[in-house]
Amino acid sequence: MYRHKNKHQKVEGEELDRWLVSYADYMTLMFALFVVLYAMSIVKDEEYRALSDTLTKIFERPDRTGTGVEGTSVLPEPGPQSDFDLFGASLEPAKGPDLVADATDLSEVTERLLGSPLSSLEAELNEALAHLMEQGLAKVEQDENWLTIELNSGLLFPSGSATATLSAQAVLDEIAGIIVPINNFIRVRGYTDNVPINNELFASNWELSVARATSVLRLLEALAVAPQRMAIEGYGEFYPTADNTTADGRAENRRVVIAISKYGYRADDAAIDMSEAPPEIPAEVIQQLENITQEDGSIRVIRLPGGGIRITTRDEEPPPASPQQQEP
């Protein structure tokens, strides 16, 4: 009984060790794979090209010209797969319209639209508003696209009001003296704290922020800043720069920002070109329009002395020609 038990334990141990054979085979294969990969990674370019050419010759389709039965093939003839196959290397690159007329580089367009340099304006504003910046009532900052003048609302307006104070007019007068001569676009942005407001003038902080921005814009317009350059933005309470849980933070969030863009307004771009005369109406078109009438004859087409036509329902004659238009 004792010997039978030992024999059973020995057989069971041998069966448990058989996994080592499979594991050893697997490791051998992995080692061989990595050896091959390593050998391929250090192969020389010349040897690689020779091997590549040899494999290409082995696997490429053999030339069967001259073999088989003569006659019409039932397979379609292979055609060119692209314009390059059809025309070869002489194919010219495709051409498209220019980005902007008379401009081949985007940088030229950007330079044409730029206003006055923001760096020089920043230096002038820092000097003009130095006394307010020392008191923490004003801040001048510049980034890649904007030069911003941040003014505390306590300096410009009474609490809950959009009526500018005398101090606001004095501050804006100093700012206008710097920004009037330039042509940069201007955005006047209004901000408030998160204290709710709801009265007969302002239903919410949205209206208050817009009204304050509008008030500043009107003062700048009165100080000769071109209105075509300006626009207003109202953000209400939703873009705070300080903590609204403290009185100092709320005071800092109540502000108006005058943002000066690096791009400038061009009056010649906005002006309507009236130098070109209107196109003449063909005579046959005018004749057809003159023949237009309703059954009761209420619609009339009248040819005007200076060119053009008038379509009317009134029984009237065309106005007399001016002395310059009358023939001698």
328 in a structural domain: no
Residue 50 has pLDDT above 70, yes or no: yes
- CATH number at 204 reads 3.30.1330.60
212 in a structural domain: yes
261 and 287 both lie in a single domain: no
308 and 237 both lie in a single domain: no
40 in a structural domain: no
301 and 259 both lie in a single domain: no
Q: Are 262 and 184 in contact (CB under 8 A)?
A: yes
- C-alpha to C-alpha distance for 198 and 201, rounded to whole angstroms: 8
- C-alpha to C-alpha distance for 161 and 200, rounded to whole angstroms: 12
301 and 166 both lie in a single domain: no
126 and 216 both lie in a single domain: yes
Helix-strand-coil split of the chain, %, nearest 5: 45, 15, 40
122 and 249 both lie in a single domain: yes
- Per the structure, the complete domain to which residue 301 belongs is given by 283-312
pLDDT digits (tens, 9 = 90+) for 95-133: 444 444 444 444 444 556 888 999 999 999 999 999 999
213 and 298 both lie in a single domain: no
Among the listed ranges 41-45, 157-161, 177-181, which one has the minimum average pLDDT value?
A: 41-45
- CA distances in angstroms from 266 to 98, 113, 187, listed in the order given: 22, 8, 16
Q: How many domains would you assign to the chain?
A: 2
288 in a structural domain: yes
104 in a structural domain: no
| Among 25-29, 191-195, 263-267, the range of highest mean pLDDT | 191-195
Percent of the chain with pLDDT over 70: 57
325 in a structural domain: no
For tokens 């050998």, name the residue: 39
306 and 198 both lie in a single domain: no
Among the listed ranges 73-82, 163-172, 224-233, which one has the minimum average pLDDT value?
A: 73-82
pLDDT digits (tens, 9 = 90+) for 290-326: 666 555 566 666 666 666 666 666 665 555 554 444 4
185 and 142 both lie in a single domain: yes
Phi and psi at 129, nearest 5°, equal: -105, 20
Give 307's contacts (C-beta < 8 A, 6+ positions apart).
Answer: 278, 280, 281
- C-alpha to C-alpha distance for 181 and 269, rounded to whole angstroms: 19
253 in a structural domain: yes
23 in a structural domain: no
- C-alpha to C-alpha distance for 114 and 112, rounded to whole angstroms: 6
Give 223's contacts (C-beta < 8 A, 6+ positions apart).
Answer: 172, 173, 176, 180
123 and 251 both lie in a single domain: yes
| Pairing of the two strands 255-264 and 146-152 | antiparallel
260 and 288 both lie in a single domain: no
231 and 190 both lie in a single domain: yes
